[in-house]
């Protein structure tokens, strides 16, 4: 996957569709100083622009693999564009996440919008809640995010509490 190329394609499509968006997953973690390899490109977009954005991505050659509540998975036949996963947000959740998006400036390329560390934690906690075995894949990511300077510890602890994962929070916080 050519992340730079996918970033340009996604940025342009989101702009044309009119949706706010942000990079999530492994590439967002890279933006917060955690080197993690990833084989796909994950973004979050606004549910109300789902059809417009999906249509634009299809017109650009992406094929929809899966389209379910909250998620769309796409694949491009050009391996350099590869797999694109979109998580859809709406209502109050969208306002909270997009209201705290940070724009990372990049010389010679488009700015990269990324959610706050708190919101990345919330997404990973929800994923673990839905599929507990993800803790093996996402645990190290969470450890790194929980150590971000200025992190609102009360907010993130609340995400773990509401998911019934307080013991995981305590273990991650206690580990070196």
Provide the pLDDT for residue 108: 72
Separation of first and last alpha carbons in the chain? 33
Paired with 84 in beta bridges are: 41, 74
Distance (Å, rounded) from C-alpha 166 to C-alpha 78? 42
Whether the Cβ atoms of residue 165 and residue 129 lie closer than 8 Å to each other: yes
Q: In the prediction, which pLDDT does 126 show? A: 92
> Please, what is the angle between helix 135-145 and helix 117-130, to 10°?
160
Per-domain residue ranges for the chain? 3-115, 118-174
pLDDT at 36: 75
Let me know: does 42 contact 87? Beta carbons within 8 Å: yes
pLDDT digits (tens, 9 = 90+) for 120-135: 999 999 999 999 999 9
What would the CATH number be for the domain defined by 3-115? 3.30.460.40
| C-alpha span between 114 and 124 (Å, rounded) | 14
Spell out, as residue ranges, where the chain has pLDDT lower than 50: none
Q: Give me the pLDDT at residue 91, please.
A: 92
Measure the CA–CA gap between 79 and 82, rounded to whole angstroms.
5
CA distance 49 to 134: 29
Supply the pTM of this predicted model: 0.87
- What is the predicted pLDDT for the residue at 158? 96
């Amino acid at each position: 996957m050519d992340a730079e190329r996918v970033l340009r394609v996604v940025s342009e499509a989101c702009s044309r569709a009119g949706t706010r968006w942000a990079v999530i997953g492994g590439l967002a973690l890279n933006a917060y100083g955690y080197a993690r390899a990833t084989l796909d490109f994950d973004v979050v977009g606004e549910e109300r622009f789902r059809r417009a954005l999906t249509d634009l991505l299809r017109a650009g050659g992406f094929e929809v693999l899966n389209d379910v509540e909250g998620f769309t998975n796409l694949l491009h036949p050009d391996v350099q564009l590869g797999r694109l996963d979109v998580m859809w947000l709406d209502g109050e959740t969208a306002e909270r996440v997009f209201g705290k998006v940070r724009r990372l400036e990049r010389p010679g390329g488009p700015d990269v919008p990324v959610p706050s560390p708190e919101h990345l934690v919330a997404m990973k906690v929800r994923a673990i809640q839905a599929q507990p075995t993800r803790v093996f894949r996402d645990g190290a990511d969470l450890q790194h995010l929980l150590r971000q300077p200025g992190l609102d510890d009360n907010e993130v602890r609340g995400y773990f509490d509401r998911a019934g994962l307080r013991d995981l929070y305590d273990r991650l916080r206690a580990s070196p």
